[in-house]
Structure 1
Amino acid sequence: MAHNIAILGASGYTGAELVRLIATHPNMRITAMGANSKAGQAMADVFPHLRHLDLPVLQKIEEIDFSGVDLCFCALPHATSQEVIRDLPKTLKIVDLSADFRLRDPAEYKRWYGNGHAALECQAEAVYGLTEFYRDEIRAARLVAGTGCNAATGQYALRPLIAEGVIDLDDIILDLKCAVSGAGRSLKENLLHAELSEGYHAYSVGGVHRHLGEFDQEFSAIAGRPVKVQFTPHLIPANRGILATVYVKGDAARIHEVLARAYADEPFLQVLPFGQHPSTRHIRGSNFCHLGVVADRREGRAIVIAALDNLTKGSSGQALQNANLMLGEDETTGLMLAPCFP
């Protein structure tokens, strides 16, 4: 049976990525697409690489009829998303790709995002969307909150290690490089080619990046006590991809064993042989995450490296993975496409 799908925020990068992935899904049909700034336009005019698809015309969100829609992807900006979702039909299944429902504590949301939450009743029912760790909750959920792409990458590298107690929880350093599409499609001076190319730079230095709210929430819940990682993100002159290099105290061979066992049956999480490490070029355009563990030259220290595509496994691919669970589909449907190389 085909499921009718709506995409709100279809003119952004994650919206276009959803369309690309759903186009290969045998049981999903896109019946409505919202993009207020480009309402009335064809998707082929906004994203010419999708011109081969038969898609509905973009329209204003308030004009969409949700009566026949089974599930809605909301790929809108932070703060906007909560206000839109608050007014959607209460029976509609929703996967949100913004940050608006990721943090369970409203006070923490205000702390990290600077404004009070406008849809507290929805926030209370939202399930955190890191698929591999919240499957049962996601299957039963009406509203799923997609993770941050940086947050997902760091969690894949660290969650099993924290749960198994094989690393020092007070000495975790997360150094992360993220491609420019992670900043969205809107025009920004620092993202101009002349400003960004031929170099890369750190940003949100010193513990102010918003995804730290997710790290604090999730890692502390696993450990049963506060866990605060050192985290510095860097913007690199690439279109897609995240590479997280995590420095930890612990036995490298044991760390590799824990990760390999934790992800042995996961279709999208691939742990490389001990001593090998991944590259963003090997996961580009796919829903896979590659992880590697290398022993540091100093005894008792290890380096864990994780790579994923920020638009796919870090956002839209994760969203489709969760939607499959919510709709009773096989989790991998529409997502087994191989990475693009070179």
Structure 2
Amino acid sequence: MKAWSFSRTSLRVHWGDGSAERLAGELDRVGSVRPMAVCTPSVARDNDLLSRVERCTRRGFADVLTDVRPHSPVEMVQAVAGRLQAADAIVVIGGGSAMVTARAANILCCEEGELEALATRRDAGGGLVSPRLTRPKLPMMVLATTPTTAAPKAGAAVTRPESTSRLALFDPATRARCVIVDPELTAGAPDTVARDAALNALVMALEGMTTRRRNLYADAALSHAVRQLPGRIVALAKQRDDPAVRVELTLLALLSGEGTDSTGGGLTAALSHSVGHRVHVHNGLVDSILLPHVLRLASRRDPSALTSVGELLGVAPVDVADAVEELLAPLSPTRRLREIGVAESDVPLFADSAMDDFASRGTTFPLHERDLEQVLEEAL
């Protein structure tokens, strides 16, 4: 029998009314006196929200860094990293983009190397390897405004405007120490942003149950997320004034993030990373288009990889792709890549880029560039 391991992060999660008040205690726990906030411009523009969070620190922010944009462009990460040098902790206020940007900037600030040297790269044998990053990192706290999967994770990715590929960074020391899910903070995100983030969490949970690193402990978190997320996404549209829906979505996304931190991503994630930042569309929307087609590839190449998802959905492995497509159809308004601006001529470029994405290693069968091209063509 193959040897396995599963480790839970030291993540502390607080949720419900007034949970933002827990921030001061969490900063005390790590001895912080100069926390810096990293947030999106939309959060920074909400003076009431930002002022409330700052009051909850009971020490104020040394600085507020608002240079956060989707997909974490390299020049933005570099700018944030430079300003983090005066901090002793990071308070992230926002969703996945803010979290990933803060994590990448934390690595760049504390390792003091070039991004290219710190990122995952191919070794002499053609395999993907991540350099060991050993310097201490700033402790990170997250006040989530959307259903982000990013907080329990150790990875980050930086995009370059001239490239479809990303610089992937990996450092367990940058996992969040705590996540706070306060209804007052989750209420402000537009419905579409919350929905797309929740779609990302659902697709990640489904794909996490199919990768080569899938395991019993991760399946416990991921299967619960898969059972609960579709109904909560539907409720988001029907119960806009119910703060509990957004809180539950965010907690379920954390479960998906923790589970997939163990199982790793798969081909859907690799392709979505390549497509999303080039067409300026949320990864969740791209994920929901691609996953059924990735699962059809898996059913042709290794149906056994779909056994756990099939058992969860009550179908045979060969029928998993159709069942997942049926599950996702009412949750996402977009079902084809051409609807988000992908052209047939883009296929070779996106396929080539995805082959270099660390998540592509998650498949249980040998992967060739033509496989990726076929998935993209079927999804057009």
Q: Which one has the bigger helix percentage?
A: 2
Q: Which one has the bigger strand percentage?
A: 1
